[in-house]
Amino acid sequence: MAGTRNLTIEEATRVDDDLVDAFAALVPQLSRRAPAPVAAELEAIVRTPATVLLVARDDTRRVVGSLTLAVFRIPTGVRAWIEDVVVDGVARGSGVGAALVKAALERAEAAGARTVDLTSRPERDAANRLYVRLGFEARPTNVYRYSSEG
Ligand SMILES: CC(C)(COP(=O)(O)OP(=O)(O)OC[C@H]1O[C@@H](n2cnc3c(N)ncnc32)[C@H](O)[C@@H]1OP(=O)(O)O)[C@@H](O)C(=O)NCCC(=O)NCCS
C-alpha cells in the first residue's frame, strides 16, 4: 500500500476518470445497495455550491477516502451535515477518516455553520468512535427517514 503519511485533503473541483474509478471502489465499502456515482453525478456534487466533495489522497495522489459536506442556510442559521464518510479498506486505521472530518469541520466553521450534524449506525464501531473522538456528541433526537423506494 502507498503511504498515508503525506496525506492531502482537498476539495474535488473537477471530475476525471480517476475520480469516477475511486468512487466505484469506495461506494461499495459504504453501502451495499447504492450504485457508484457516474461522472455526471459527481459533476453535480462538485458544481453545487452547497456541497463540498472532499477527497483524501495518499503520496501517490491516489484517492483513499472521501466525505461530502453540505452547508446550507435555514431560518435558524447556517447548518452543515457530513455525509458518506468512507476510507478505502487498505488505508484505514491511519488517521485518514479523522483528517477528512477535521477538514470538513474547518470548512463548515469558515462558512459560518452553527452546527455540524451527522448520523452513523450504531454497528459502525470505527465510525462512531471516530466521531466521538473528534468531539461529536450523541444528540437525543429521533431520526426519521421517508423512503420513496418503498
Ligand atoms: C469509519 C472510517 C471512515 C474510519 O476511517 P479511518 O481512516 O480508518 O479512521 P481513523 O484511522 O481516523 O480511525 C479509525 C479507528 O479504527 C482503528 N483501526 C486501526 N486499524 C484499523 C483497520 N485496519 N481498519 C479499520 N480500523 C482500524 C483506528 O486505530 C481507530 O480506532 P480508535 O477510534 O479506537 O482510535 C472507515 O473505517 C470506513 O470507511 N468504514 C466503512 C464505511 C463507514 O462506516 N463510514 C462511516 C459512515 S457513518
* pLDDT value at residue 5: 73
How much of the chain exceeds pLDDT 70, in percent?
Answer: 97
- Angle (nearest 5°) at CA 19 between 14 and 22: 160
Cα(128)–Cα(119) distance, integer angstroms = 9
Q: Helices marked H in the chain — which ranges?
A: 17-26, 39-47, 96-110, 125-133
- Tell which CATH architecture fits domain 8-133: 3-Layer(aba) Sandwich (3.40)
Angle between helices 125-133 and 96-110 (to 10 degrees): 50
Provide the pLDDT for residue 3: 62
Could you tell which of 32, 66, 130, 134 is best to mutate to test the pocket of ligand 1, judged by most ligand atoms within 8 Å of the CB? 130
Radius of gyration of the chain (CA): 15
Query: CA-CA distance, 106 to 127, in Å (whole number)?
Result: 19
For residue 90, which phi and psi values (nearest 5 degrees)? -75, -10
Q: Which residue has the cell 456541497?
A: 51
pLDDT in tens, 45-86: 999 999 999 999 999 999 999 999 999 999 999 999 999 999
For ligand 1, the distance from its centroid to the CA atom of residue 93, given in whole angstroms, is 5
Dihedral sign for Cα 111, 117, 123, 129, please.
positive
Could you identify the atom of ligand 1 that is nearest to the CA of residue 133? 33
The answer on pLDDT for 143 being more than 90 is yes
